[in-house]
Amino acid sequence: MSKIKKNPSGIKIGLTPILSITRKTFIFNLCTPAKLLGSIIIIILVPLIFLLIGNPAYYTNETSLTELLGIVMFFYSFGLMYPIAIGTSAAPLIAEEVNSGTMLTLVSKPIDRLGIILGKFLALFLFGITLSSLSLLVISIGAAIKYPFYDIPIFFAVNFVYSIFLILFFGGLTLGFSALFKRARNVTIIPIFIVIFSYLILLIIKQFLIMTTLYNTEASLYERYQLYHFDISYHLANIYTAIAEAWVPTSLQGWGMFFQIFGLTKNAGVSICQRSGSCYIDFSKTIYANYYFPIFSNIYLLVIGIGLLVLGIFYLKRRDIS
């Protein structure tokens, strides 16, 4: 049986070039045991701690895992850690290969630069799916051991669908910048800066803008100057809650006050009481703070992420990598 020869870049001769690049990038650059395990640990750490310290005596037969961990998953796991893991993994995929000279070897093979980027993006997409699937699986198993939540599959589905969007946005954005910039460390800073600025720095500043007119009908400074157009955390929260509400319609009853800090909900000033006698403050999204429909937030961010990826493709096609 004849053996398949390999060239110095690790790409097998005889395989479809794009799939060969995808395989090599996924196995040797992205899905290494240390990187995969380390990423999973930081993503699941806080949700598992939250589950461990929770007292099952406070749960009822109607307890939803999606509602219980929704805020933690959105803000910590898929707000901070997952985008950073995707971004830092994507950053060196093009820039590092150009600097090391490996890209020169690749372009000498029967594959164009568009195929190289598409192969690497596909590998990044598979890595993101693997990362989110394993992380959510561990959390779901931990939740099943802790308490018989009725919606563990729904919890998995909500967060998995949201993670696919994050891969397309942060992956496309970072890989595009990786093709534009010469140094991988400069690219790495970009997703970290976006996450920290959107979820921490801007969140603090935004509270002063939103709270300016909390108890009257006048538009806040945040609304008056339409800052939500440029607020990535608002768009991400809009997308996440829309996905969750599609499966768990009561999600915002528990999350409403939290998502007010993202500019997504607003205190309607009324209390809603159910027949059981329990009451809650109405933090409405659809009537009082519907700056964007979720589908438009989705399109808006995907245009940014995929647009930067396309820009990186055009730049790399014309870039001198000799």
Measured between alpha carbons, how far is 314 from 308 in angstroms, rounded to an integer? 10
For 263-288, the pLDDT digits (tens) are: 787 765 545 454 444 555 556 665 55
pLDDT at 11: 45
What does the pLDDT look like over 35-64, one tens digit per residue? 999 999 999 999 999 998 887 777 775 688
Residue bearing the bigger pLDDT, 317 or 178? 178
Nearest to 63 by CA among 146, 139, 138: 146
Per the DSSP assignment, residues forming a β-bridge with 279 are 273
Cβ-proximal residues to 6 (8 Å cutoff; 6+ apart), any chain: 12, 13
- DSSP 3-state of 130: helix
The answer on pLDDT for 108 being more than 70 is no
Cα torsion 190, 156, 66, 268: sign: positive
Residue 281 pairs in a beta bridge with: 271
More confident residue, 99 or 186: 186
pTM to 2 decimals? Answer: 0.86
Average pLDDT, the chain: 82
Bridge partners of 271, per DSSP, are 281
Whole-angstrom Cα distance, residue 285 to residue 278? 21
pLDDT of residue 77: 97
Which residues have C-beta within 8 Å of that of residue 180, sequence separation ≥ 6?
Answer: 311, 312, 315
Q: How confident is the model at residue 213 (pLDDT cuts 50, 70, 90)?
A: low
Q: What's the whole-number mean pLDDT along residues 208-229?
A: 72
Q: Where are the domains of the chain?
A: 17-204+293-318, 221-284
Residue 80, CA distances (Å) to 72, 87, 263 in order: 10, 11, 18
